[in-house]
Amino acid sequence: MALSLEEQSFADRTITAHAGRPGALLGILERVQEHHPHKFLSSEILEYVAAKTDVPLSQLYSVVTFYALFNLEPQGDHTICICRGTACHTRGSRSLLQRLRLELGLPEESEDGADKLCMTTPDRKYSLRTVACFGQCALAPVVEVDHAIFGHMNEQTLHREVEHLTKEKKK
Amino acid sequence: MPENISIRIDGEYVAAQEGQTILEVARAGGKYIPTLCWLAGTSSVGACRLCIVEVSGVGRLLPACTTPVQDGMSVTTTSEKLTQYRRIAIEFLFSERNHVCAVCVSNNHCELQAMAQKLGVTSVRYPYAYPKLGVDVSHPRYVLDHNRCILCTRCVRVCTEVEGAHVWDVSGRGIRSMIVCDMNRPWAQASSCTNCGKCVQVCPTGALAEKGFAVDEMVKQDHNMTRLTARRGGHS
């Protein structure tokens, strides 16, 4: 899949805007990812950015795999983020995660060693992610739905929020 | 002009210059400090934690390869405590990947193996992780075996700083860290690789090796034998 001219010119403009600034790479990649409708960095765009910024491919790949912020897979329209921090874990975030997985029909993935989990439904409607902590432990368990924080979640309230998203979509 | 200073290594006064690291000063003075990730001519990263030393007045152990010397510093390079921590570092390296010396290309030419013997590591106290890792055999001359990699980043540094190609880098982080080629492509498809083989030469273990030396790659040249035995069989 080749890059569209629009994507190329956006990347060019972003690179020019950040030119010569130390540590510009993160900013460029963040903008480029945000610009994509599915909020991810394709290998084509990464190669394009590498060529334009003179950053070695391996270094670029190293950067995008180090930061959890960058997605290498297309993301869903809605993002549901479940906190797996200690406070949220003790208040049952594992069962929330399990429940949502079943509801969205996502496969079981072993959590051993994996600090971050990121899965997207095949229809690209929902992305399910885990984070280490939102810093809102008093509200545990915390779930973030499309950048809005919800505290004291249980399976019913989480189900309601997801249902709400589905209805909004139909409208 | 860097200032001349004086430090103590294991009680002996050693002349040093400002900006030098403890390791450089110790090596120049003929003192041995074990290292695995350190590589002459490239930058130091302090990845292997084998060169840890005690500096009096500092509560924690410091890596000699990245700690600059300071005037009046007193360094201890060998002690019971240091040996213990160095052994732990080696044991962690062994438990993290699949280091099976008996079937390794680098058996008896391995810096990790030699270091373990030197430090008297006879067993690993931690559970082995047994990760399922791949082997990249795409390159016509070389092999990359992730099972043997200790992530010392010597290959990354020699490729970037000496060869100037920057084919290698480390992807991911923590236990998921992996050496990658370009954009996580097979080695043969790396457009930036010059096939110079520097990475293979500096790899301390059997992670990067030349093809044709693995245990399973030995070929018996027995066609002469069979001809001779057949002839003998015909006479008798």
Strand partners, B166: none
Which DSSP state fits A152?
S
A65 touches chain B (CB under 8 A): yes
Domain ranges within chain A, ordered by starting residue: 5-66, 78-170
Q: Are B192 and A68 in contact (CB under 8 A)?
A: no
A42 Cα to chain B: minimum distance (Å): 11
Which DSSP state fits A75?
P
Q: Is B11 left (phi over 0), alpha (psi -120 to 50) or beta?
A: left
B175 Cα to chain A: minimum distance (Å): 7
Give the residue among B210, B214, B215 at the shortest CA–CA distance from B142: B210
Q: Least CA distance to B165: which residue of chain A?
A: A56
Strand partners, B12: B9
Assigned CATH topology for domain B4-78: Ubiquitin-like (UB roll) (3.10.20)
Alpha helices, H only, A19-154: 24-35, 43-53, 57-66, 86-90, 93-104
Instruction: Indicate the SS3 state at residue A30.
Output: helix
A126 Cα to chain B: minimum distance (Å): 24
Query: What kind and span of H or E run contains A155?
Result: helix A155-170
Q: Is B54 left (phi over 0), alpha (psi -120 to 50) or beta?
A: beta
Q: Are A55 and A22 in contact (CB under 8 A)?
A: no
Largest CA distance in chain A: 51
- Domain A78-170: top CATH class: alpha beta
Asked if B182's CB is within 8 angstroms of A61's CB, the reply is yes
- Domain B97-217: top CATH class: alpha beta
Q: Which residues of chain B are in CATH 3.30.70.20 domains?
A: 97-217
| pLDDT digit string, tens, across residues A20-57 | 888 899 999 999 999 998 899 999 999 999 999 999 99
The pTM assigned to this predicted structure is: 0.86
| pLDDT digit string, tens, across residues B8-36 | 999 999 999 999 999 999 999 999 999 99
More confident residue, A163 or B106: B106
- pLDDT attached to residue B132: 93
